Structure 1
């Protein structure tokens, strides 16, 4: 999960978990006969490849340059080396014309998705002074269709970005692939906890674990409340006091809050940290209805503080056994948008806003102010009561991201972009954010509900729909954009 284990009580509770960078293979191609015919052309290709490698590393990746493939023998040798390197993405620099035979082994045996990058040295040729060799340095577009056909005939997706070396439009697209590749790598290694049971009757969020594994990889760890109870029993008074110090740094405590319940939740938060650490979890989805005052029912109602602290640190911890919403938050967090657990709340037709939120926990890294701990006599639809988290996502661009499961087990990625805006909010210990989607609130609600989204999802800051679309492409998931 983390590059270095984090302590049970983080020194800086808002410091997020960090992950390793993806491994990317860069290989360049060109027709070998050109090198002897035109002095300097191979040097131009190598110089451009070096620039591309530096730019990709600057985005956040470890790049290995496998050199220039000049013929099919080079291609077969490069494919072997790339496969042994166990990379996450292959970037083929289509520098000039080349035959598909040169790179078919890389496509078929390289062992990673392929992105074709066709970046010429400059915006335009110097037509008055260029000769054939100079032109060939700009001729990647001559070979690009052949590369795409080769991928299609192998049954592989053809992905390409064309432009010039300093083309920021092109680099924005390449950056999406690099970041999405990192997310895919972390999903493949991810560990997702399920603690307790599904909220009774909430079938839209029920997840087929095999379908989840088929798309994301990773591992789903099935946990019992006994696992948490064992760790809770080991928490000392000193550790609880340290946790309370963290609570008062992160939260604003309402004057009517139940301090005894907050202390209890602080102790549970220490146990939750240990649960995450012991099972090396990247997300945790939990629920236990309970109907008595036994320790298990009390533990099940004491997650809001600990779940907020974990979510804020980049370990989504969500109620109602919502495995896929937790993974959606895990994804948006890695894309730089954080992620807070969300569902529909109400529609404000006077202001043209959709009000979104949920009870229990928040991601304090994306809230407008410190979350408030507000006491609730009862958690609606659940057992028990106590301190609950009230917060609002900060104003600005936001993205809703849901992972729906279709009738045949396939997953659908669903995204919608809008703007979080200020406005009145009810004070009931829930997260509440007003979003303007640029359309009638009823139209957005219908389109979102009919998209295949479950009634829970991740709300993240920033406009991330294009990043999510690229991620869906790399994972082989369906993508749907909801912008009525």
Structure 2
């Protein structure tokens, strides 16, 4: 599958890291401090593959904790990992996080799977007793009102330090693989937080009239995600359309022919036809204008909808939206139809994480296969397609004005997760994750994106639970089982998360 270069790259998170110990140990047990520092450097190296690590080093007194907290503030970190390298008093750790308000994660990573009981000395034991202080940290943080998370497991070294009296080569142990998978997810979630903060979401036109679940308070969205909503008008796009050159339109046609298959007439639906040359040419011109809009207003995502008066200029303009917005999705700019800003946020979260994020809603239930077909008539994330998506000419857009070219596609088979961003009665955003399997079941040939998904529950039971969470009726479809990852995103954004 061909891919296009991202217009705006995902931001790497800034990760704070420090190890803790008790200063009295260093004189009592020569070499212990150096050994623990070596563990810290290993963790820094591993984390550096996924983020920009700001490694403070060892914190072993209250005064050092205060200095570390101020230092992390100066580094503008998104997340702080506290490596419980050995025992340390909670009075050493708490000042770090009283000063630096970035989310905290304790790392309880034991270097060995099993100590050598017959040979172990007190100093050797202290190099492996990271679990000892974590309950104390948890109690102090809870009473101080500071949220925390814990990753438990093995350190995962691929060698054994010379000072060790036991085998510390644990990188192939499942306990090490699991702990580093958790760490990687926390860093990925921090990338979402950094990328969303200060990002610019265009809102073009308005929300589809009467869809009350989708109406959003722009101030509320900015307050909870850090993104900025940029209100745009159709005349902004129309102005840029007038500047599109033949060469720019031709480049979009080349992209379309590379990434899509042009359909014949649908065998079933008379309104789904082979796109005409005129329809394709118009979609290409509009697509070039859509990219100009993204670049001029420095957009990271877009929510859009415009009804338009019958036969009006803007009705014709919006009729060419779907193809161009699918091309923007392929370049890291999620585009959510019907003015659904909250789902644009969900799509952006999925895209930042490299999991796709295609616009979808419930289409129909297949009780024979026990699947729910999910899809929409809007843009599709080409990077997660099963084969080449199809372009169909539409005699009309159902429930909307105009006619044009639409995308018919399905998400590739295998694990998928839908991410729904909804709003509760108190104005808070909430995330709902649903894991399932995209199947090879049949779809309709009507110019819409459609993917049959088998969730873990019978369709009726699943829908009962999903509806009870009061979702927005759209969601972002991602590839992989990502509920654990989305939960971490919710924690870092201070949003409730529910997994179905």
Same fold (TM over 0.5): yes
Cα offset, 1:64, TM superposition: 1.8
Q: Does 1:85 pair with 2:75?
A: yes
1:48 to 34, 39, 47: 39
Question: How far does the alpha carbon of each residue in 1:110-143 deviate from its partner, in whole angstroms, 9 at most, with x for none?
Answer: 2311111111221121111011111111112111
Are residues 1:233 and 2:251 paired? no
How far apart are 1:308 and its partner, in Å?
Answer: 0.5
Matches within 5 A, 1:335-354: 335-354=353-372
- Among 444, 449, 461, the residue aligned to 1:426: 444
1:299 to 317, 329, 353: 317
CA distance in 2, matches of 1:101, 1:263: 68
Native 8 Å contact 1:268 1:302 kept in 2: yes
Q: Do residues 102 (structure 1) and 92 (structure 2) align? A: yes
Which of 8, 24, 29 is the equivalent residue of 1:38?
29
Contact kept in structure 1, 2:11 and 2:194, CA below 8 Å: no
Kindly indicate whether residue 227 of structure 2 is the aligned counterpart of residue 209 of structure 1: no
Please give the alpha-carbon distance, in whole angstroms, between the structure 2 residues aligned to 1:35 and 1:440.
59
Aligned to 1:377: 395
Q: Deviations over 1:318-341 (max 9, x none)?
A: 210011111101111122210110
Name which of 176, 181, 193 aligns with 2:202: 193
Q: Which moved more, 1:68-77 or 1:388-397?
A: 68-77
Please name the residue that 1:169 is paired with. 178
Between 1:17-26 and 1:268-277, the stretch displaced more is: 17-26
Q: For 1:22, which of 13, 16, 38 is the aligned residue?
A: 13
2: CA distance between counterparts of 1:162 and 1:444? 32
Q: Gapped runs of 5+ residues in structure 1?
A: 1-11
Aligned 8 A contact 2:17 2:57 in 1? yes
Distance across 1 between alignment mates of 2:331 and 2:470: 29
Conserved? CA contact 1:13–1:309, under 8 Å: no
Query: Counterparts of 1:125-140 in structure 2 under 5 Å?
Result: 125-140=115-130
Deviation at 1:69, TM superposition (A): 1.0
Contact persistence 1:120–1:163 (CA under 8 A): yes
Task: Please give the per-residue CA displacement for 1:386-437, whole angstroms capped at 9, x wherever unaligned.
Answer: 1111001010100010011000001111000000001211111000100111
Q: Alignment partner of 1:413: what SS?
A: strand
Match of 1:158 among 148, 158, 167: 148
Asked if 1:124 corresponds to 2:142, the answer is no
Shift of 1:13: 4.9
Equivalent pair of 1:390/1:427 in contact (CA under 8 Å): yes
CA distance in 2, matches of 1:228, 1:210: 24
CA deviation vs aligned residue, 1:354-379 (integer Å, no higher than 9, x gap): 11100021111101011111111110
Q: Give the total of aligned pairs.
A: 470
Give the 5 Å matches for 1:289-368. 289-368=307-386
Deviations 1:98-121 (A, max 9, x none): 111112221111231111111122
Residue 294 of structure 1, CA deviation: 1.9
2:435–2:456 CA contact under 8 A, matched in 1: no
Counterpart Cα distance in 2 of 1:440 and 1:71: 55
Give the drift of 1:452: 2.0
**Residue 309 of structure 1: SS of its match in structure 2?**
helix
- Measured at CA, do residues 346 and 95 of structure 1 come closer, stay the same or move farther in structure 2, by a change above 3 Å? same
| Residues 24 and 61, structure 1, Cα contact 8 Å, conserved in 2 | yes
Please state whether the residue corresponding to 2:484 is helix, strand or coil. Answer: helix
1:133-148 alignment runs, 5 A limit: 133-148=123-138
- Aligned residue for 1:399, secondary structure, equals strand
Worse overlay, 250-259 or 264-273: 250-259
Which deviates further from its counterpart, 271-280 or 17-26? 17-26
Contact map agreement 2:3 2:383 (CA 8 A) in 1: no
Displacement of 1:26 in angstroms is 0.9
- For the 8 Å contact 1:24–1:91, the answer to whether it is kept is yes
Answer whether contact 1:419 1:437 (CA < 8 A) is retained.
Answer: yes
Aligned to 2:255: 246
Deviations 1:202-249 (A, max 9, x none): 010111212211221121100000110110011112211221111111
Decide whether the 8 Å contact of 1:314 with 1:338 is kept in 2. Answer: no
CA distance in 1, matches of 2:20, 2:427: 39
Q: Which moved more, 1:227-236 or 1:206-215?
A: 206-215
Instruction: State the alpha-carbon separation in 1 of the partners of residues 332 and 318 from structure 2.
Output: 21
After superposition, the C-alpha distances for 1:236-286 in whole angstroms (9 at most, x for unaligned) are 122112211111111111232122011111101011001111111111011
> Quick one: distance in 2 between partners of 1:164 and 1:432?
42
Q: Which residue of 1 aligns with 2:171?
A: none
What is the distance in 2 between the residues matched to 1:438 and 1:121? Answer: 37
Q: What's 2:269 paired with?
A: none
For residues 28-83 of structure 1, give each alpha carbon's deviation from its aligned partner in whole angstroms, at most 9, with x where no partner exists.
1111001110111111110110111111112x111121111111111112122111
SS in 1 for 2:82: strand
1:454 corresponds to? 472
Q: Which residue of 2 aligns with 1:3?
A: none
Q: Which moved more, 1:426-435 or 1:234-243?
A: 234-243
Structure 2 distance, partners of 1:111, 1:406, is: 26
What TM-score do you get using the length of structure 2 for normalisation?
Answer: 0.92
